[in-house]
Amino acid sequence: MKVFPIAEGIQMVSVNATGFLFEGMWDLPYGVSINSYVVGKEEVALIDGICGWDHTKEGLDTFLKEAGIKLEDIKHVVLNHMEPDHTEWISAFLELYTDFDFYCSKPASLLLEHFFGKDDRIKVVADGDTLELASGHKLTFVSAPGVHWPDTMMTFEETTKTLFTCDNFGSFGSLESLTDEGCEEKDLEFLETQQQRYYSNVLASFSTQVGRGVQKTRELNPAIIAPGHGLAWKKDVNRIMDDYDRYVQYSKGIAKEEVLVLWGSMYGMSGKMVQYIEEILEREGMTHKAIPVNTTDLGTIIQHAWSATGIIVVAPTYEFNLFPPMSYTVEEMGTKRVQGRVGFYTGSFGWSGGGKKHFAEIIERKKMNWDLVEGYEFKGTPKEEDKRVVEEKVLEVIKKVRTCIAEQ
């Protein structure tokens, strides 16, 4: 756990968490930071608690010492969002100390009771309500429903113009420096890949609500953006707002001039076509990446799908349907609202086929609104005739992607 001052009387508490699956399912190749904040001194407000605390009395004492506060100074605990990555500390904390109030939205108050039991300390706050501290800090609560969960709000500290945004503006990736001031450009560029991963894996389904949250943030004109995961932004708050605006835009279809080739193959027949497709994309100067879906975690697949305007799916027929690792992948892209892409399916079959039909059925049922180039199934290994047809289709995908980007 690191404790670091980010503004007058405001400290960031951050821990790098690794070696587990986020939400029980998302791989974290570079871990994830979980942040909370300490505001004030004699009358302290903890925002999103004490992330990274080991739940022991000794661990709590260490935290209090590093933050330079006393336990009895903690008068207020603000809960911006009830997901346990930000609230799992509550039960253990209540065992040691109870002389404080919780501040949270109405939906969060219901979740608090269901997660941690009924509590008479809960103060329900609405958009625009304020809390003034003895230190002069003034907290205003800003509702942000649907930024991950229906309970979410943000908290704005007016004297320092610090906005505590919880999941909004979050990122995967462990932190060395806790703020963007301590990062070099190459660090920020790397962390941007982890931001896109976090956004696409965790927030993508709620892109409309996140977009509203970004708009609300711009209206508040914060000097510091202090999220629950990832860097606190001080040097360049516009950079993270612009990145998030882009991610929200990608949910509408037109993303980067990139083609993602998602593929799966049992015996290498469809795999041969993947090699050929990559050669065409290379020759045509189209940025591309090929990912085997049966050996790649879903988080990585969705991360790359998020910024690709074109997605080519290559997989065989399996028991009259699309190869199961691929049908699962396409279904999950639908759930994460990978929508409005330029798409094309091709794959090998033995006797009846069925992969093409199943693929189109998923795109339709999940309302993904892809602009599909007519799919193409081939028997066994790809022959010259099959390659000729697929080449035409891939050129059509490239053309459509370039037209989308040009007309944007």
Ligand X SMILES: Cc1cc2nc3c(=O)[nH]c(=O)nc-3n(C[C@H](O)[C@H](O)[C@H](O)COP(=O)(O)O)c2cc1C
The site for ligand X (CB under 6 A) is made up of: 265-271, 316-320, 348-354, 380
Question: Measured between alpha carbons, how far is 319 from 328 in angstroms, rounded to an integer?
Answer: 15
Question: Smallest Cα–Cα separation from 255: which of 297, 206, 304, 197?
Answer: 304
Question: Smallest Cα–Cα separation from 52: which of 79, 92, 81?
Answer: 92
Binding site for Fe ion (CB under 5 A): 83, 85, 148, 167
- Between 319 and 384, CB nearer to ligand X: 319
User: How far apart are CB 76 and Fe ion at their closest, in Å?
Assistant: 21
User: How far apart are CB 260 and ligand X at their closest, in Å?
Assistant: 18
- The 8-class DSSP code of residue 138 comes to E
- Between 148 and 393, CB nearer to Fe ion: 148
Question: Smallest Cα–Cα separation from 106: which of 153, 62, 59?
Answer: 153
- Between 154 and 262, CB nearer to ligand X: 262
User: How far apart are CB 228 and Fe ion at their closest, in Å?
Assistant: 5
Question: Measured between alpha carbons, how far is 104 from 130 in angstroms, rounded to an integer?
Answer: 12
User: How far apart are CB 313 and ligand X at their closest, in Å?
Assistant: 13
- Between 120 and 319, CB nearer to ligand X: 319
User: How far apart are CB 386 and ligand X at their closest, in Å?
Assistant: 12
Decide if 154 contacts 168 (C-beta within 8 A). yes
Q: Which one of ligand X, Fe ion, none is in contact with 350 (Cβ closer than 5 to 8 A by kind)?
A: ligand X
DSSP element (H, E) containing 349: strand 342-349
Strand partners, 139: 131, 157
Q: Which one of ligand X, Fe ion, none is in contact with 167 (Cβ closer than 5 to 8 A by kind)?
A: Fe ion
User: How far apart are CB 303 and Fe ion at their closest, in Å?
Assistant: 17
- Tell me how far CA of residue 127 lies from CA of 153, 216, 246, in angstroms: 8, 12, 26
User: How far apart are CB 111 and Fe ion at their closest, in Å?
Assistant: 12
Three-state secondary structure string covering 226-260: EECCCCEECCCHHHHHHHHHHHHHHCCCCCEEEEE
- Between 253 and 316, CB nearer to ligand X: 316
Task: Please write down the long-range contacts of 381-386, taking CB distance under 8 Å and 24 or more positions apart.
Answer: 381/269, 381/272, 381/348, 382/269, 382/272, 382/273, 382/276, 382/348, 386/273
- Between 240 and 315, CB nearer to ligand X: 315
Q: Which one of ligand X, Fe ion, none is in contact with 317 (Cβ closer than 5 to 8 A by kind)?
A: ligand X
User: How far apart are CB 198 and Fe ion at their closest, in Å?
Assistant: 9
Question: Measured between alpha carbons, how far is 79 from 306 in angstroms, rounded to an integer?
Answer: 30
Q: Which one of Fe ion, ligand X, none is in contact with 148 (Cβ closer than 5 to 8 A by kind)?
A: Fe ion
Question: Measured between alpha carbons, how far is 253 from 371 in angstroms, rounded to an integer?
Answer: 10
Exposure letters 136-159 (e unless 16+ CB within 10 A, then b): ebebbbbbbbbbbbbbbbbbbbee
- Between 166 and 274, CB nearer to Fe ion: 166
- Between 128 and 351, CB nearer to ligand X: 351
